[in-house]
Amino acid sequence: MPPQGAVLSDEKIAAALTYVRKTFANGAGAVTPDEVKVVRAATAQRVTPWTAAELLKDHPFPPTKSPLKHLVATVYEGKWKELPDFSQLKPVLMEDFNVGILDVAQSGRKEFYAVVWTAQFEAPEEGKYLFTFDCDDFGALYVGGERIAEVKGIGPVGKRAKEVPVMLKKGLTPLRVEYVQYGTNAAVVLAVKGPKDKTPRALSNTKLKVVKEKVSIPIQPKDGVAAIYRNFIDNTAPRAIGIGFPNGLNIAYSADNLAAELFWNGKFMDGGHHWTDRGAGNEPPAGTNIIKLSDGQGVLLEGVAGDVVRYVREKDDKEWKFSAVNVAAEFKGYDLDKAGNPTFRAAGEGLAVTDGWSPEEVSGKATLTRT
């Protein structure tokens, strides 16, 4: 929202702030016009917007109450590829952390160390608590003196996360995390979801990032009818139209350049990328033997720049820019016959072009016929 300056009166600003505080700040108190007047007078000479860092410095968020009580971190130095017997090691640091949040930075080390965190987990009520644990590189989680989760081996967070339900009574339960860092990357993830929680609550500075497995949705011709793909295809223009023919040959036709730019055989496309979530970016053909035939205009008039104006988007180091170019023709759509075979249409000043494609078999080999 742009700054309103003197357009809004003290009374209107006070009313807006009061509404925001009551609605989004758990019923916080009202702001009076006199309070607004004092602040506006004190900042009358300011001409630049406030930054987030400035606002947080003057108005910090209240600390989140953590269910981890009496958190203590004990740090060890060394190289291990499996969890050691910490009772046989001499610590280099032991410190209380009242923040109630696990953070690898509390070790004060960058690599080749171990940390044992001990705390009392406060359960607000009796019931099932779902603990999530992960780390880079490896470690173990103990609740009530029992090891409930272990991450083995050297690797990043995301694919090895453990989720374990534990029945707890109301009150304090001992909690212990053993963690070993081997190399440069370091992270510990700990979260818990209580009986009445809708989402897990983070007990560590690092939040869990789940690496989702790629969803595969193969797109292939069916019952002798060609398949079509209208999402972004890699290595061709943004307005590409993919056609997968029943004989195993495939093309990507550019509606920008009025030409078939890609050819490949075998599998057509995988829709898992674009047909799940937001599906941003380009998807490469799913088959093999990909041939890039062209990336320029497919309809040219000798000695004539063309009478059709098309805007081309190009990106420099900072931003996208648009420029007008003259071309001989522009895309006018396409038609599909009963077998899904396309005929692409283009037109310009006194010019109409059709470009049809269909599958054939010549001497036992799959081919495409262009008309």
CA distance 6 to 335: 59
Cβ-proximal residues to 287 (8 Å cutoff; 6+ apart), any chain: 250, 264, 265, 266, 267, 268
Which of 231, 237, 235, 233 is closest to 298 using CA atoms? 237
181 and 116 share one domain = yes
Structural domain of 9: 5-58
Which of 249, 316, 262, 322 is closest to 292 using CA atoms? 262
Residue 243 lies in a domain: yes
346 and 280 share one domain = yes
Greater pLDDT, 270 or 279: 270
CA distance 309 to 300: 14
Residue 209 lies in a domain: no
242 and 341 share one domain = yes
Which of the listed residues 58, 76, 96 is the one where a domain comes to its end? 58
Greater pLDDT, 140 or 205: 140
Residue 364 lies in a domain: yes
Residue 228, CA distances (Å) to 61, 168, 242 in order: 52, 55, 5
265 and 296 share one domain = yes
105 and 52 share one domain = no
**What mean pLDDT do residues 215-234 have?**
94
Reported confidence tier of residue 1, pLDDT bands at 50, 70, 90: very low
Torsions phi, psi for 366 (to 5 deg): -70, 130
Does residue 58 carry a pLDDT above 80?
Answer: no
Q: Which of 94-98, 278-282, 285-289 has the lowest mean pLDDT?
A: 278-282
pLDDT tens-digit readout, 344-359: 998 887 788 899 999 9
Burial category of 262 from C-beta neighbours within 10 Å (exposed 0-12, middle 13-18, buried 19 and up) = buried
CA distance 359 to 342: 11
Q: Is the pTM of this model over 0.85?
A: no
Cβ-defined contacts of 10-19 (< 8 Å, 24+) = 10/34, 10/36, 10/37, 10/40
CA distance 321 to 314: 5
37 and 96 share one domain = no
Task: Report the CATH number at residue 118.
Answer: 2.60.120.260
35 and 76 share one domain = no
Number of domains the chain contains: 3
Residue 63 lies in a domain: no
Residue 66, CA distances (Å) to 45, 171, 182, 204, 296 in order: 41, 14, 28, 10, 61
DSSP H helices in 25-130: 33-42, 52-58
Percentage of the chain surpassing pLDDT 70?
86
Does residue 78 carry a pLDDT above 80?
Answer: yes
Mean pLDDT of the chain: 86
Residue 213 lies in a domain: no
Does residue 304 carry a pLDDT above 60?
Answer: no
At residue 64, the 3 state secondary structure works out as coil
pLDDT tens-digit readout, 146-193: 999 999 998 888 889 999 999 999 999 999 999 999 977 899 999 999
Which of 202, 145, 200, 190 is closest to 168 using CA atoms? 145
Residue 212 lies in a domain: no
Looking at residue 316, what is its pLDDT? 65
34 and 74 share one domain = no
120 and 232 share one domain = no
Does residue 320 carry a pLDDT above 80?
Answer: no
131 and 163 share one domain = yes
44 and 79 share one domain = no
Reported confidence tier of residue 243, pLDDT bands at 50, 70, 90: very high
Answer whether 246's CB lies under 8 Å from 256's CB: no
Reported confidence tier of residue 210, pLDDT bands at 50, 70, 90: low
Looking at residue 123, what is its pLDDT? 96
Residue 166 lies in a domain: yes
pLDDT tens-digit readout, 83-99: 999 999 999 999 887 78
Residue 208 lies in a domain: no
Greater pLDDT, 62 or 211: 62
Q: Which of 93-102, 105-114, 149-158, 221-230 has the lowest mean pLDDT?
A: 93-102
Q: Which of 44-53, 59-68, 82-91 has the lowest mean pLDDT?
A: 59-68
Answer whether 232's CB lies under 8 Å from 190's CB: no
Which of the listed residues 202, 232, 267 is the one where a domain comes to its end? 202
Which of the listed residues 152, 173, 202 is the one where a domain comes to its end? 202
Looking at residue 298, what is its pLDDT? 64
Percentage of the chain surpassing pLDDT 90?
53
311 and 346 share one domain = yes
Looking at residue 349, what is its pLDDT? 79
Greater pLDDT, 20 or 76: 76
**What mean pLDDT do residues 196-222 have?**
84
Answer whether 232's CB lies under 8 Å from 282's CB: yes
